[in-house]
Amino acid sequence: MSGYDPEFLGADLPVPLPGFSAALDGLVLRVPTLDREVFAHYVNYTVAMNRQPHRRSAVFAALNIDRMRLRPVSRSDRWRIDSRIGADFQLDNAYYRDNPWDRGHLARRASAAWGDSNAAAGRASDETFYYANAALQHSHYNQDEWLALEEWVLGMDGVAEGRVSSFSGPIYDAFVRSIEPEGRPVATVPSAFFKVLCFRNTAGGLEVRAFVIEQDTAALADRRGRTRYDHQRYQVTVAEIEARTGLLFPAIVAEANPLFFTRPAEDTRPDIARLPDTQFPEAREVDDAHEVLGPGADRTELADDEVDVFLAAALVNPAGDERAGEWVSIINLSNHAVDLAGWQLSDTRRPRLGLSGTLGPGEAIRVQPIRPLMLANSRAGVIELYDDTGRRIDRVRYTEAQAKAEGRPAIFAYRETEAYRGP
């Protein structure tokens, strides 16, 4: 089995497998049946495993994706134990049965299913159904949306030859959940997942995009910086992933990522240097391909945690005239009046809608109609609120189910106000 190829993007642009920090190194499974006692190779991808009894999951899965040779092959869904790793170091089906946890592919089946023939692609697809390539993902976690990050990058302008090297894996933070099937040892549930995507651009250089999706609110509550939300995708720095996993990516990978872990020098990026300290390390929500930041992308100051004005609800799919019936409500939960002159609503795709008027403490307004905005009535979407200085004040995401519920408003989850946020 060939496994992950470090020179997949070109011999002149190698992307080696990540190394391990001193803290992680002793937790990596080492058995003589694996390459260098660590790496299990499959068709088009490679995994390294965690040896801890309560984890029994991959430390990472490294996958080469060749879009030009992808083939639409059927999926086997026949999960199996890899004997080279050993049954004691993999979570079998007992951990995914009769509970809210799914077998989440780390190396994505559809992305691995490529080759010079249907038979080769089918074999690669089947090879992703090893429990070593699975991790406990909550059923509410939309795997297709998360894994579609690879498709977003492949679909971007400037990806040379449709090739991407992808690294994925679980994150275990200090606050963790666990499950214990009857008669089986306890297993820890990941608090988040990461994905790092590397590709050659048309100028021949390396570009990187890094992402995290959280799935544990207890872990979120202890994080420094801006509030994060469960099951939300974030574009992040490679350094954050390294800090949370113990993995050590090659320096070229971290340097090619467009987000900053610490504030850059003002003469390097004055637009970013002006951002408040709370925005570092950088982490940006991404719900669609056009929101992924590349090199040199402008930044918006995020004031979601500072201004207590919120998007409260929206009628995404009204009965009757959809364009006339759509509305968005905004509520002021601060203790002072807010002048909305110069404020704007955005659906992240079309020209923004200007607002006006004043919101007293505790007051709400309904904005209707919302042209030129258009809410999606058959898929998930995003609404954003900006103040008169261009700062983003709030951002909400409605689900596909909410979008399809004709005549029923989407009520957005409670967000903590400044008065109760604490130091």
pTM: 0.90
Please tell me the class of the 309-420 domain.
Answer: mainly beta
Domain with CATH 3.40.570.10 in the chain: 19-291
For the chain, the maximum distance between any two Cα atoms, rounded to a whole number of angstroms, is: 70
For 301, 361, 385, 410, the CA distances from 311, given in Å and listed in that order, are 18, 15, 7, 11
Give CA–CA dist 365/362, Å, rounded.
10
pLDDT band at 1 (very low <50, low <70, confident <90, very high): low
Strands 309-315 and 410-411: antiparallel
pLDDT band at 141 (very low <50, low <70, confident <90, very high): low
pLDDT band at 76 (very low <50, low <70, confident <90, very high): confident
Amino acid in position 282: E
C-beta of residue 296 within 8 angstroms of C-beta of residue 257? no
Domain with CATH 2.60.40 in the chain: 309-420
C-beta of residue 215 within 8 angstroms of C-beta of residue 171? no
pLDDT band at 100 (very low <50, low <70, confident <90, very high): confident
Q: Where are the alpha helices (DSSP H) in 275-416?
A: 322-325, 400-404
C-beta of residue 163 within 8 angstroms of C-beta of residue 64? yes
37 CB burial (10 A radius; 0-12, 13-18, 19+)? exposed
pLDDT band at 411 (very low <50, low <70, confident <90, very high): very high
Beta strands in 157-290 (DSSP E): 163-171, 177-179, 187-189, 192-200, 206-214, 233-236, 247-248, 283-285
How would you classify residue 45: left for phi > 0, otherwise alpha for psi between -120 and 50, otherwise beta?
beta
Q: Is 290 a catalytic residue?
A: no
Could you give phi then psi for residue 360, rounded to 5 degrees?
-75, 170
Residue 228, pLDDT > 90, answer: no
Degrees, nearest 5: CA angle 273-275-278: 120
C-beta of residue 235 within 8 angstroms of C-beta of residue 279? no
Average pLDDT, integer, range 403-411:
92
pLDDT band at 357 (very low <50, low <70, confident <90, very high): very high
Residue 219, pLDDT > 50, answer: no
For 11, 121, 126, 422, the CA distances from 5, given in Å and listed in that order, are 10, 17, 19, 48
Q: What is the pLDDT of residue 323?
A: 80
Q: What is the pLDDT of residues 175-192, one digit of tens each?
A: 678 888 888 899 999 989
Q: What is the pLDDT of residue 422?
A: 47
| Residue 50 among known ligand-binding residues | no
105, 138, 290, 336: the active-site residue: 105
Average pLDDT, integer, range 139-168:
78
Q: What is the pLDDT of residue 144?
A: 61
Give CA–CA dist 31/176, Å, rounded.
27
Q: Quick one: fold of 19-291?
A: Extracellular Endonuclease; Chain A (3.40.570)
Give CA–CA dist 417/279, Å, rounded.
18
Please state which of the ranges 269-273, 278-282, 302-306, 411-415 shows the lowest mean pLDDT: 411-415
Give CA–CA dist 172/336, Å, rounded.
41
Give CA–CA dist 44/4, Å, rounded.
6
At 253 the three-state DSSP class reads helix
H or E element, residue 244 = helix 238-245
Residue 417, pLDDT > 60, answer: no
Q: Which residues contact 38 (CB under 8 A, 6 or more apart)?
A: 28, 29, 30, 48
Residue 223, pLDDT > 80, answer: no
pLDDT band at 77 (very low <50, low <70, confident <90, very high): confident
Could you give phi then psi for residue 243, rounded to 5 degrees?
-65, -35
Q: What is the pLDDT of residue 217?
A: 59
Residue 310, pLDDT > 90, answer: yes
Q: What is the pLDDT of residue 159?
A: 85
